């Protein structure tokens, strides 16, 4: 194990593009070194890593699928070798259904894929990371604090009958946030959930026309798409510990989409 670095370290799954990259950039700007996970080859994420390094972070790229037990273990071992510490875990990696299907037609294969990547992976990555964080707390004393941030979606609470598997996976993340917050509070580890709304990423690019129309029609209070930077700023505030006495809480970054209105 490497001697612990002086700078705090954050691990961001799915951190090389989209919302994850927005979060990673905000954390780099907040003084964190970074462990970035993704499934692409490192040559394909070189540009993203270069931008993070230019923002002041030392960056370790962790290629692996969060749904795979061995890959999760290998990633945390690499962080321990490279940095000797882990202060923040951001569970961001996730996928949408390959085909949007009505509840009456949706396949078990799609359900299993989304549950494995969107729910099981982050749940057990949190378990492993939390065990390491508890050890750090025991070694470094009561002043050490950790933070776990789950990136879910407004779909955790807003039903979409043509992608029920996605909604259920995000609702599971919402409960996981509550469970881990309750379990880890005694160890000084805060757990939060961020629920993005309609955010402009490669995942939503194919729905541009639909959401442009819905936003113009009043779906959101703020009449614009969200950006990865919007979510990144929110995550950085939580990671820096600027909100205290609030573990387990949900932060909606959705332009007012989920405000109940008449």
For residue 120, give the DSSP letter.
Answer: I
Interstrand relation of 189-196 and 59-63 (parallel, antiparallel or unpaired): unpaired
- CA–CA separation, 15 and 45 (whole Å): 10
Beta bridge partners of 151: 194
What are 112's two structure tokens?
């299993």
- CA–CA separation, 118 and 137 (whole Å): 28
What are 14's two structure tokens?
């799915």
Contact 228, 44 (CB under 8 A): no
Q: Exposed/middle/buried for 93, CB within 10 Å: 0-12, 13-18, 19+?
A: buried
- CA–CA separation, 262 and 259 (whole Å): 10
Name the residue with tokens 């951190």. Answer: 15
3-state secondary structure of 81: helix
Contact 89, 54 (CB under 8 A): no
Backbone angles phi, psi at 123, to 5 degrees: -60, -50
Q: Which residues are catalytic?
A: 166
Contact 132, 76 (CB under 8 A): yes
């Amino acid at each position: 194990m490497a001697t612990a670095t002086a700078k705090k370290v954050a691990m961001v799954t799915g951190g090389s593009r989209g919302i994850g990259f927005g979060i990673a950039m905000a954390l780099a700007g907040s003084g964190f070194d970074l462990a970035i996970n993704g499934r692409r080859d490192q040559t394909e994420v070189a540009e993203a890593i270069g931008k993070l390094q230019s923002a002041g972070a030392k960056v370790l790229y962790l290629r692996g699928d969060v749904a795979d037990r061995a890959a999760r273990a290998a990633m945390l071992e690499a962080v321990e070798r490279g940095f000797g510490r882990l202060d923040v875990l951001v569970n961001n990696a996730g996928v949408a259904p390959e085909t949007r299907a009505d509840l009456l037609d949706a396949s078990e294969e799609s359900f299993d894929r989304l549950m494995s990547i969107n729910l099981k992976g982050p749940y057990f990555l949190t378990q492993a990371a939390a065990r390491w964080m508890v050890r750090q707390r025991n070694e470094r004393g009561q002043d050490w604090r950790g933070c776990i941030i789950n990136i879910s979606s407004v779909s955790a609470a807003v039903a979409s009958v043509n992608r029920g598997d996605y909604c259920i996976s995000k609702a599971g993340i919402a409960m996981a946030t509550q469970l881990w917050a309750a379990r880890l509070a005694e160890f000084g580890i805060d757990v939060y959930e961020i629920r993005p709304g309609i955010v402009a990423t490669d995942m939503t690019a194919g729905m541009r026309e639909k959401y442009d129309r819905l936003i113009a029609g009043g779906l959101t209070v703020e009449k614009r798409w969200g950006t990865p930077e919007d979510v990144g700023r929110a995550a950085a505030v939580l990671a820096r510990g600027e909100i205290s006495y609030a573990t387990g809480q949900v932060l909606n970054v959705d332009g007012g989409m989920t405000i109940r209105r008449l």
